[in-house]
Amino acid sequence: MGHQDTIERVANFLIGIAWRVIVIALLVYALMNGVRAAYSYGHGLLYSHAMAGDNAIDEDFVISEGDKSADVAERLLKEGFIDNADAFNVQAKLYEAEFVPGVYTISKSMTMVEIIQLLTQEGKKYQELVDKNLVDAEATTTAAAEVETDANGIEVIGGTEDEQMIEQDAADAALRSQEAEQYAGGNASAGNTAETDSSLG
């Protein structure tokens, strides 16, 4: 009996060790897979790659009014320019990207970072151009209004036809003034002639 008990204790001990080894192996395997998955995910967030080779064609990509980074990322993912919308959003935050509505030319041979940089830089140029045009238009309108007010003494509204009418009225008034002066001058000359004849007589 004593010998059999010893064998059973040894067997149970070995079985216990085997189970511990199996559990530890499973934990190590799960940990390694977790580390690998975390590394892969982090690598995907921080390092981007192109979806196609250098021979990919250029395509139009539209950013609509009110689109946020998540909207742009989802559309890029849907159209095949990127393969990870979360990575795009992270990269956009890192680069402090601001997306301006418009039509942009991009390619699937561009990496995610290159797409973000192009959309950001071209968007800034477009916004600066729009702002400049608005300022120039406002300055031109203000200057035109000031010139019309200084020249006519009133604010002219209505465009070319109103301006022509005002110019015509001014010309008519000048003509009437000239005719009145000529008439007054003629009467004065006639009066002087009559006085001269009377004195001679």
Distance (Å, whole) CA 138 – CA 120: 27
Contact present, 82 and 115 (Cβ < 8 Å): yes
The pLDDT value given to residue 13: 78
58-135 folds as Dna Ligase; domain 1 (3.30.1490)
The pLDDT value given to residue 28: 83
- Domain segments of the chain as ranges: 1-47, 58-135, 158-190
Q: Which residues of the chain have pLDDT under 70?
A: 1-3, 35-47, 139-167, 169-171, 173-201
Distance (Å, whole) CA 65 – CA 84: 23
> Model pTM?
0.51
The pLDDT value given to residue 128: 84
CA atoms within 13 A on the CB side of 6: 3
The pLDDT value given to residue 159: 47
CA distances from 138 to 66, 145, 146, 154, 162 (A): 25, 11, 12, 20, 22
